[in-house]
Structure formats: structure tokens, C-alpha cells
Amino acid sequence: MDERSIPDKYVGELTQARINLMRALDAGAATRAPLPSARAQTQFDCWMQEQEENYQPDDIAACRNGFLTALNQTNAILAAVVKPMPQPKAAAAPAPAPAPAPAPAPMAEIATYTIYFDHNSSSLNSKALAMNNEIIAAIKSTKATSVTVNGYTDRSGTNAYNRLLAERRTATVTDAIVASGIKPKVGYQSFGETRSAVETADDTQNWENRRVVVILQK
């Protein structure tokens, strides 16, 4: 906190949030809950940065909510009770080895959707919100069993900033999909300014690269 120029009225909440995050990491979150704890760290950095700038309330709320969701998922995993193994019984004649289970069939892609974002924003504009609602309806109607959300940015801004911006965009779409009550679990990745849809020079704005891609599989 000492290295940031965060408005005084927000320092207390952010300080407590960092304490809660460090408790989870000290309890082994990095190995027992690697995905949600990693997301909690990046969302905390996002929240702290946006709060320091303090002029985009939607982005501040998205980062804060993303952090709280990821930390709750992390703590739920850490709090899970591991049942003890039953005591071994007297040795018996070994049973015949079971036949190997057939390999699961590869998942088939049902549909791919792309949501575009305004420059330097992780909020859903009207078109993006309509596309997000279309995706949620498709998940339910197709009975998709796997949903993957991948976030990207264009090449304006630094690589480090774009990594966080892509994470926030991914979190916005993921949280909206999960909040709709769908059954399949949602996987998510963020690639920042890498893997552009349209190759451009560095520091170039391009709306086709400011995107989140959602893949449905079954």
C-alpha cells in the first residue's frame, strides 16, 4: 500500500483484502488451489491499480468482485475436509484385474462466440451484453458440457497492463456466465496482447483484437 497513491478511504479495505489473500497463500493455496488463488492475485493487482486511478467505477467493481469470487473459491478448497483412509482389513486373495476403461471420446466444439470491448475497458457495452446473453442462452439450449473463456487485448499500452486488462475482461464474461446458473464448469485463460486476431504494430489500437472468445463444447 505504501508504494501506491490510493485514496485514504479505500486503503483499509484493500489492506484487509491483502491480509486475507496472504493467509490463503500461507495455508498452501498455491499448491492446493492453484487456479483460483492465481486469479485472486491478479484480480487484487487489478483492483489496486484501478482504485489508485479512481476514475472507472465499473472496472474497479469488476476487479474487486473478481478478487472476492476467486478468494472465496480458494478458501472453499482450503477448508474442504479430507476424509481419512479406512484401516486395511486382513489380506484376501487378489481380485482379477478389471478390464481397462475405454478412453473417453474427444469433446466436439459446438460453437464459438466473440465479444468485443471498448478501448481500455473491461465493461460490457450494449452489443457485448447482448452477445453475452446469447452465449448463455446457447449454453442452455445446446446442453454444452464445457465452456472456455479466453481474453485478449490490442497492442496499445504495455504488455504488463494488457495482461491485467485481458484478465479483467475474462473475469467480466466468466462471472456473468457463472451468475446465470449454468451447469457446466467454466474454464478461463487470458493472453493479453499476444495471439492477436489481426497483426498490428506495437502501441496500435485495433477493435478486432479487444475481445473475449467463448468456446462451447460437448
pLDDT at position 133 is: 92
The pLDDT averaged over each successive group of 10 residues in the chain (218 residues) is 85 91 90 90 91 90 92 88 56 74 77 94 92 92 92 93 92 90 87 92 94 94
pLDDT at position 193 is: 93
pLDDT at position 82 is: 46
The Cα 214–Cα 139 span in angstroms is 10
Amino acid at 90: A
The Cα 156–Cα 202 span in angstroms is 7
The Cα 179–Cα 95 span in angstroms is 47
pLDDT at position 108 is: 86
Label residues 4-42 b or e (16+ Cβ within 10 Å = b): eebeeebeeebeebeebbeebeeeebeeebeebbebbbb
Please state, as a whole number, how many other Cβ atoms lie within 10 Å of the Cβ of residue 131.
19
Contact assessment for residue 187 and residue 196, using Cβ atoms and an 8 Å cutoff? no
DSSP letter (8 states) at residue 43: H
The Cα 45–Cα 30 span in angstroms is 17
pLDDT at position 191 is: 92
